[in-house]
Chains A and B, each alone.
Chain A
Amino acid sequence: MSISLFYFIAFLSIFFSLLVIFSKNPVHSVLYLIITFFTFTIHYILLNAQFLAIVNFIVYMGAIMVLFLFVLMLLNLNKESEPAKSNLLKIAGVVAGMCLLVTLVGSMKVLDTSNPVVLQNQNLGLVKNLGKVLFSEFLLPFEVSSILLLSAMVGAVLLAKKEPKLYK
């Protein structure tokens, strides 16, 4: 194992995320997005954030992507092709994104922090350590996030329910 593993995985992340936004078929986009999330999981493992790696694997690649695939299946978008935006708008979008990237990289150059990332504490990203922090310092946000999830569930059910004919 060498340092080039990080650069290889980083290249894969960028490559597949480019494929996500440039592939014509939405189903292919979802599949490429799953691969992108898998490369992110590998990044987390390389950073020794094992809890986040597992959560990313289960929640993102498992739950969220299955949700995306189900919705794509329900909507049946394959038969109709997406009407393409005009080329001018596409070029303008890409140029705007590149401008954002240049700005971010330029501000990073001013930052001048090129120290290597060194893991000082072996147990930093383990479940035991994170659980202690989560249930002592961040207990209130943790409980509030349960309310967030509940309200999101109620909202999703309300929105996706078929409307009565009254409103039509």
Chain B
Amino acid sequence: METVNQVIKGVPLNHYILLSAIIFSIGVVGVLIRRNAIVIFMSVELMLNAVNLLLTAFSVYHNDASGQVFVFFIMALAAAEVAVGLAIIVMIYRNTNSTDVNVLNKLKW
């Protein structure tokens, strides 16, 4: 326990924000450049996780347990989201025989 505390003792909060910002941006880039719906979904998961890490870091920084409880709620929400989203992807695949998001352009302007 003591050694674990010594590890984070010197890490500035800035670096946690920087790490989360980088991973969030990687998720955004993944959503923008991929066409496979499942990979897009994984990028969304990356973004959720970046926010989770940042919330935990702020929670430790401010010595407030509410942030970690919020992360727990986000995880429950992510589980529900993944279940529904993957069901939708399976249905899309059944109807169009691919998971390419460009097939679904009927509602495009």
Residues on the A chain within 8 Å of B16, using CB: 117
- Are A13 and B19 in contact, with the CB atoms below 8 A? yes
Q: What chain B residues lie within 8 Å of A51 (beta carbons)?
A: 68, 72
**Do A64 and B26 touch (CB < 8 A)?**
no
CA–CA, A119 and B62, complex, Å: 9
User: Which residue in B18, B42, B46, B77 is a CB contact (below 8 Å) of A148?
Assistant: B77
* Interface residues in B, total, Cβ within 8 A: 78
B27 proximity list for chain A (CB < 8 A): 17, 21
Q: Cα distance A32–B30 when bound, in Å? A: 14
Cβ A94 vs Cβ B33 within 8 A: yes
Nearest Cβ on chain B to A63's Cβ, whole angstroms: 6
Within the complex, which residue of A96, A114, A160 is in contact with B32, where a contact is CB–CB below 8 Å? Answer: A96
Given the complex of chains A and B, what is the CA–CA distance between A115 and B16 in angstroms?
A: 11
Starting from the known contacts A49-B60, A145-B76, 9 additional A-B residue pairs (CB-CB under 8 Å) come to A44-B56, A56-B75, A92-B32, A117-B12, A117-B16, A125-B65, A145-B73, A151-B80, A152-B84
Top 6 closest pairs, chain A to chain B, by CB:
A93-B32, A152-B80, A21-B30, A97-B29, A159-B87, A101-B25
